[in-house]
Amino acid sequence: MIRSLAVVGAAALLSSLVQTPADAAVVSVPNVAALQAAINKARSGQRIVLADGVHRADKPIKITKSRITIAARHAGRAVLSAGSFEFGAVRRVTVEGFVFSGTSTLAVPAEAAGTRITRTTFNGDKDGASLTVSADDVEVDHNTFSNRTNEGVYLQITGPDGKIAQRTKVHHNYFYNHSYSGLNGGESIRLGYSYKQQLSANAVIENNLFEKANGDPEAISVKSSDNTIRFNTIRDSKGYIVLRHGNRSTVEGNLLFGSGIRFHGNDHKVFNNYVENSGDRALVFGKGSETDSGPTSKLHDRPDRVTVAFNTLIGTGAVVDSDTGTYAPKDCVFANNVIKGSSSKFIEMMSGSTVKYEGNIVWGGTAGISSGYRSVDPKLVRDTNGLLRLASGSPAIESSAGTYSYVTKDFDSQSRVGKPDVGSDEYSSSAVRKPLTPSDVGVSAP
């Protein structure tokens, strides 16, 4: 017995397990072999802690027990240079604080519902996705995804054949520096696949920061239905928020600098977003290569019945436009938005588009539409956090048109009172919103 254990470090393993009873709330282990032994003996509620250092798993570390936490002693200091965890049919397992370096990746299979991945770093080039989620009710929070140069996404949300992972929550993560130079395949987040576009994922992607998301024109690529993308910050990135496939998603309250929003599909709501783009195309009605996508189509679906309302859009050129395609946007609404900048034509829609315009304010150039707007100075002033807000006396205050009952708050999450103000900001002397910074997200954030 002792001879066989010597191969895997008997003294350290025996010492760690003898000194810490198997039913203790916290079990500390020195290496991968001891970690596997502790997981095999774990009881519900235990926290198993791996020592700091560089660890190599030459075979998968199998997670066979539910309701346990597997953690690094200190977040960011227990590095898996090779190998990974392999989930069995478990529930509510938390993986916390590791660094997946080198070729190490992590996948949460469909049978591991309720898993939480937190305070973990996925760094460098990988084969495929850095993190793959196929299970229901998975929480991905306070992680850092960084420094990829090759094809592949940081986070892929998928599911078993014929299904898609349900109710994934992705929040307070830092997506940084994806520099893949190919034309496609370097998204920060891919939510679904084209062949899953008609499946309802009910995912929420919120309060994440994206910087240098340059691996793909799509930083967040949504390829499923009924999702919410809200309160994220994107800066210094070519990647947009893109509803590439699917229907009935909400894009709300995001702060985008040099980035933008593009959508295809039906019945989306895009509201309370702040887009400050030094160029054009802050908001794009995506091209239609077909009227409605079938379940296996990879073509671009025409936008139908999409409402774009109460956004603040800053830029030059065609700040709002539609891609050229066979089928023009149909039965869409563009209402109560503020557009400011300089342009000979702020809004440039494909011929044949049917878009209802109402309540918009355009200033600094030519609107490009014949009705549904006022050309007045919205009186935007830059606050201490760098955001352009309504000043006292702005003509945007209490001047919106139409009824949009779901717009009850502004981009600060402050209530809209009376008749809502035009744009993403409801005038207030107590503004609270600021763009996310690296200190607000990722492994070390509060």
Q: Residue 23: what pLDDT?
A: 63
DSSP code, position 23 = T
b/e string for 56-77 if b means 16 or more Cβ within 10 A?
Answer: ebeeebebebbebbbbbeebbe
How confident is the prediction along the chain (446 residues), in pLDDT tens digits per residue?
Answer: 333 333 333 333 333 333 445 568 999 999 999 999 999 999 999 999 999 999 999 999 999 999 999 999 999 999 999 999 999 999 999 999 999 999 999 999 999 999 999 999 999 999 999 999 999 999 999 999 999 999 999 999 999 999 999 999 999 999 999 999 988 899 999 999 999 999 999 999 999 999 999 999 999 999 999 999 999 999 999 999 999 999 999 999 999 999 999 999 999 999 999 999 878 899 999 999 999 988 888 999 999 999 999 999 999 999 999 998 999 999 999 999 999 999 999 999 999 999 999 999 999 999 999 999 999 999 999 999 999 999 999 999 999 999 999 999 999 999 999 999 999 999 998 878 999 999 999 999 99
Q: Does some domain include residue 157?
A: yes
Q: Does some domain include residue 390?
A: no
CA 270 to chain centre: 15
Placement of tokens 């400050």 in the chain: 276
Which residues on neighbouring strands pair with residue 252, listed in sequence order? 230, 271
Which residues on neighbouring strands pair with residue 343, listed in sequence order? 365
Residues 129 and 105 sit within 8 Å (Cβ to Cβ)? yes
Closest CA to 151 of 123, 121, 179: 179
Q: Does some domain include residue 9?
A: no
Residues 308 and 335 sit within 8 Å (Cβ to Cβ)? yes
Q: φ, ψ for residue 144 (rounded to 5)?
A: -120, 125
* CATH number, position 84: 2.160.20.10
Closest CA to 126 of 159, 160, 161, 81: 81
What distance, in Å, lies between the first and last C-alpha atoms of the chain? 46
Distances (CA, A) of 218 to 211, 212, 443: 13, 12, 24
> What is the phi-psi region of residue 417: left when phi exceeds 0, alpha when psi lies from -120 to 50, beta otherwise?
beta
Q: Does some domain include residue 264?
A: yes
DSSP code, position 15 = H
Sign of the Cα pseudo-torsion (52, 53, 54, 57, in order): negative
Which tokens belong to 411? 């981009």
- At 33, which helix (H) or strand (E)? helix 32-41
Reported pTM = 0.93
Q: Does some domain include residue 408?
A: no
SS3 293: coil
Total Cβ atoms within 10 A of residue 327: 19
Which tokens belong to 383? 């606050």
Residues 83 and 56 sit within 8 Å (Cβ to Cβ)? yes
Name 185's Cβ contacts closer than 8 Å, sequence gap at least 6.
151, 152, 153, 215, 216
Q: Give the number of C-alpha atoms closer than 13 A to the C-alpha of residue 88, restricted to the C-beta side.
A: 10
Angle at 155 between CA 150 and CA 159, to 5 degrees: 120
- Domain tally for the chain? 1
DSSP 82-125: E--EEE-S-SS-EEESEEE-TT--EEE-TT-TT-EEES-EEES-
Q: Does some domain include residue 402?
A: no
Q: Residue 294: what pLDDT?
A: 86
Closest CA to 302 of 275, 268, 344, 266: 266
DSSP 131-156: EEE-SSS-EEES-EEEEE-SSS-SEE
Q: Does some domain include residue 385?
A: no
Q: Residue 21: what pLDDT?
A: 56
Burial class (CB in 10 A: 0-12, 13-18, 19+), 3: exposed
Q: Residue 11: what pLDDT?
A: 37
Q: Does some domain include residue 321?
A: yes
Amino acid identity of 325? G
Q: Give the number of C-alpha atoms closer than 13 A to the C-alpha of residue 332, restricted to the C-beta side.
A: 29
Please give the Cα distance from 354 to 338 (Å, whole number).
Answer: 20
Residues 73 and 51 sit within 8 Å (Cβ to Cβ)? yes
Name 17's Cβ contacts closer than 8 Å, sequence gap at least 6.
27, 34, 37, 38
Residues 424 and 411 sit within 8 Å (Cβ to Cβ)? yes
Structural domain that includes position 361? 25-377
SS3 2: helix
Burial class (CB in 10 A: 0-12, 13-18, 19+), 89: exposed
SS3 303: coil
Q: Residue 183: what pLDDT?
A: 86
